[in-house]
Amino acid sequence: MANNIGWNFDNSYTRLPSSFYSCLPLNRVQAPKLVILNEAVAESLGLDTRALQRPESIEILAGNEVPSGAIPLAQAYAGHQFGHFNMLGDGRALLLGEQMTPTGERYDIGLKGSGRTPYSRGGDGRAALGPMLREYIISEAMYALGIPTSRSLAVVTTGETIIRETELPGAILTRVASSHLRVGTFQYVAQWGTDEELQILADYAIERHFPTIDQTQPNRYLSLLQEVMERQAKLIAQWQLVGFIHGVMNTDNMTISGETIDYGPCAFMDTYNPATVFSSIDRQGRYAYGNQPPIGGWNISRFAETLLPLIHNNEEEAVILAQEVIQQYPQLYYTNWLAGMRAKLGIFNEEEQDAKLVEELLTLMEKYDADYTNTFRALTFTKCEGTDLFNSAEFTNWYEQWQARREKQEESEAASQQLMRDNNPAIIPRNHRVEEALEAAVTHGDYRVMEKLLQALSQPFAHTSNQEEYATLPAPSNCPYQTFCGT
């Protein structure tokens, strides 16, 4: 059956020390049903999309059967959750193994919502349909926006209900990622493992994600820290540039690969405000939009701490070397972010005044409660009218400065506008549109709304007429929008 479908599993994680994971039996579900399949992802993995829709394949996607060559396991890891260190692990996820694609790439194939594990900490290990569809939508939107992300292969319903505040239909998501190695994985081994096990994990991460780090380098673990930091700085800058708010930037949700992962209470910002928080559990705003860049640096510091025994056998010297690396993070992030903002404003070259120009625009957007995505979209097509921001004298003054700045570059007006078209999405997964799709699917079993939304989100920079309806803002509400982690 595996050959007919295209599964081609390796299990390199099982060749690591056994304390890193727990091999598990499956937690079967009653009546699995495939509700959505990502054919593009399936094809990239070398899988037969028709075969994936057969009953025997759905049993695999539901966690009822083990595909040939797979060794299901739950990974152990730790993490700082809202600043507090805890022992964690895959509490409701199962790693089936690593799919080797026809082009030789390696991807983790995991089931989310597959049942209890030794790391469930009293939870049921299950997931509801709504949050799994939400992860599917948002991860695919992020991919289309060009942001590194895990992806979703499929969602199946289980035929069972789970209890949260109410009874909800159960579901399992099949997640695809370059790996599930996290900062929290290193924290777990650093806290409860040996230095030898820590080195094994670091070497594994280098081999899997950073093969250009040479074995002969004088300090390859310092290079590992540098590489992970650079990827995270770039990733978080990309989040900020599209108004994405992760919601739970705990160290166990921060990947070594530099991919966005664990889409729980995430959402996209409408009105520009750095203090924006959607997550119901982030009561102090630790992971607010404006706090994401410094939290990224805080998480990198926690990663650096785990590597100290490998960086140098003298702890004081190791700290000095690590600090020399991580102190680069703020500038790395800012350089990525400012470059992205220049592109959003159609600016090719660099001038010192650019940062001030960007900050003044953002200050005005916050003052006039301007929509983040639509403001840049309007600038792209010079349709700056009809809002309090665009009607203000302050904006008129800023606009004149912006036009003068663009005249200081060799590129044509047409090239500048194309740069803006390529960097300012016409569409993001607006929260009210996501909720509309989830309501139709979960409550009424109607997936047409979701499929239409996914189609529109698949080409965010197309700027076509059929995307217009998704640019409209939600109706005013006295109830702030909240998202929930699904557990």
The helix or strand, by DSSP H or E, that contains position 57, with its residue range, turns out to be helix 55-61
Whether 166 maps to a domain, the answer reads yes
Whether 269 maps to a domain, the answer reads no
HSE, side-chain direction, 13 A CA sphere, residue 138: 28
Whether 324 maps to a domain, the answer reads no
Residue 122 burial (C-beta neighbours within 10 Å; 0-12, 13-18, 19+) = exposed
pLDDT band for position 2 (50/70/90)? very low
Whether 310 maps to a domain, the answer reads no
Examine the residue annotation and report whether 252 is marked as an active-site residue of this protein: yes
Span 388-437, pLDDT tens digits:
999 999 999 999 999 999 999 999 999 999 999 999 999 999 999 999 99
Separation CA 159–CA 139 (nearest Å): 25
Cα torsion through 260, 266, 269, 270, rounded to 10: 130
DSSP result, 280-294 = TT-TT-TT-GGGHHH
Is the Cα dihedral 96, 97, 102, 106 positive or negative? Answer: positive
Cα torsion through 112, 90, 103, 49, rounded to 10: -10
Span 464-477, pLDDT tens digits:
988 989 988 887 76
SS3 197: helix
> What is the number of other CB atoms lying within 10 angstroms of the CB of residue 140?
21
Q: Does residue 22 surpass a pLDDT of 80?
A: yes
Separation CA 42–CA 330 (nearest Å): 38
Whether 190 maps to a domain, the answer reads no
| Catalytic residue chosen out of the listed positions 90, 108, 252, 282 | 252
Separation CA 173–CA 35 (nearest Å): 10
Q: Write down the pLDDT at residue 233.
A: 98
The residue written with tokens 């083990």 in the block is: 66
Helices and strands per DSSP (H, E), number in the chain: 16, 13
Q: Does residue 261 surpass a pLDDT of 90?
A: yes
pLDDT band for position 4 (50/70/90)? confident
Residue 25 burial (C-beta neighbours within 10 Å; 0-12, 13-18, 19+) = exposed
Q: Give the mean pLDDT of 377-385.
A: 94
Q: Write down the pLDDT at residue 481.
A: 60
Q: Give the mean pLDDT of 21-43.
A: 97
pLDDT band for position 484 (50/70/90)? low
Two structure tokens written together for 107? 């991807």
HSE, side-chain direction, 13 A CA sphere, residue 51: 13
- The residue ranking higher by pLDDT, 216 or 480, is 216
pLDDT band for position 164 (50/70/90)? confident
Span 314-364, pLDDT tens digits:
999 999 999 999 999 999 999 999 999 999 999 999 999 999 999 999 999
What range does the domain containing 145 cover?
2-177
Span 363-376, pLDDT tens digits:
999 999 999 999 99
Whether 58 maps to a domain, the answer reads yes
Closest by CA to 63, choosing from 22, 32, 99, is: 32
pTM score above 0.85 = yes
Q: What is the mean pLDDT of the chain?
A: 95
Q: Tell me how many domains the chain contains.
A: 2
Residue where a domain terminates, one of 140, 158, 177? 177
Span 268-288, pLDDT tens digits:
999 999 999 988 888 889 999
Whether 471 maps to a domain, the answer reads no
Separation CA 317–CA 181 (nearest Å): 27
Residue where a domain terminates, one of 152, 177, 202? 177
Separation CA 23–CA 8 (nearest Å): 19
Contact 32, 58 (CB under 8 A): yes
Separation CA 271–CA 473 (nearest Å): 9
Q: Give the mean pLDDT of 16-38.
A: 97
Closest by CA to 329, choosing from 219, 478, 402, 227, is: 227
Residue where a domain terminates, one of 397, 421, 445? 421
Q: With b meaning 16 or more CB within 10 Å and e meaning fewer, what string describes 323-347?
A: eebbebbeebbeebbbbbbbbbbbb
SS3 371: strand
Residue 42 burial (C-beta neighbours within 10 Å; 0-12, 13-18, 19+) = buried
Q: What percentage of the chain exceeds 70 in pLDDT?
A: 97
Whether 299 maps to a domain, the answer reads no
Closest by CA to 266, choosing from 147, 357, 161, is: 147
pLDDT band for position 3 (50/70/90)? low
pLDDT band for position 232 (50/70/90)? very high
Cα torsion through 324, 328, 330, 333, rounded to 10: -150
Q: Write down the pLDDT at residue 134.
A: 96
